[in-house]
Structure 1
Amino acid sequence: MKRTRRNHGATFKAQVALAAVKGDKTLAELAEQFSVHPTQITEWKQQLVGRAADVFGGTKPPSEAPDLKTLHAKIGQLALENDFLEGALIKAGLLSAKR
């Protein structure tokens, strides 16, 4: 019988990771207590430790604001290509000119 995949919420992950960081119990004990694989606990612990500074406003991920000039240039290029291809298809008789 196949076991369905479990999706754990952020609160549960944080609880397990904090228990792992405390170090009161071994990974095997935590895995048994929370019914999660020890490798998963280790991964969540590493994520918690790696992003701990973000909680206190240390490092923020760079916000990627799109460059409007680049986007407008791309839109113009794509519009030009569409017009060119439409004309070529009409000449080849593959597209109706009534469009």
Structure 2
Amino acid sequence: MSKRRRKFTSEQKFQIVIEAIKGERQISEIAAQYQVHPNQISNWKKQFLEKGATVFNTKADDSKKILEETQEDLFKKIGQQQYEIEWLKKT
């Protein structure tokens, strides 16, 4: 039996990293609470300090781009259909 990988949202990662940065508790204690390996928390903390909060939001940016492209395509189709309807009304 293999374990399934757990996926953490950007908000969860951010919360864990903030707790680690505060330094009120040791990383091993935080890791035990969230059931994450201490090295993973250290990696997230390093990424956060290098790149800021946007490091965990890659999927949100990708989905936003996809939605914008889809919206543009739909507006083009609507415009074309309106043009065709007006042309058919004239004939």
Where structure 2 has 5 or more consecutive residues not aligned to the other structure, the ranges are 55-91
Please give the secondary structure, in 2, of the residue aligned with 1:25. coil
Query: Aligned equivalents of 1:43 and 1:15: distance in 2?
Result: 14
Please list, as runs of the form range in 1=range in 2, the aligned pairs for 1:1-99 lying within 5 A after superposition.
1-52=1-52
Q: 1:2 to 1:45 in 2, by over 3 A?
A: same
> Higher RCO, 1 or 2 (CA under 8 Å, sep at least 6)?
2
CA RMSD of aligned residues (A): 1.7
The alignment of Structure 1 onto Structure 2 pairs a total of residues equal to 54
Q: 1:53 to 1:2 in 2, by over 3 A?
A: closer
Aligned AA (2:19): A
Paired-residue identity, %: 37
Query: Aligned equivalents of 1:50 and 1:13: distance in 2?
Result: 15
Q: TM-score, normalised by structure 1?
A: 0.50
Aligned AA (2:28): A
Q: 1:5 to 1:17 in 2, by over 3 A?
A: same
Query: Aligned equivalents of 1:4 and 1:53: distance in 2?
Result: 26
Query: Aligned equivalents of 2:53 and 2:35: distance in 1?
Result: 28
Shift >3 Å, 4+ stretches: none
Where structure 1 has 5 or more consecutive residues not aligned to the other structure, the ranges are 55-99
Query: Aligned equivalents of 2:29 and 2:48: distance in 1?
Result: 19
Q: TM-score, normalised by structure 2?
A: 0.54
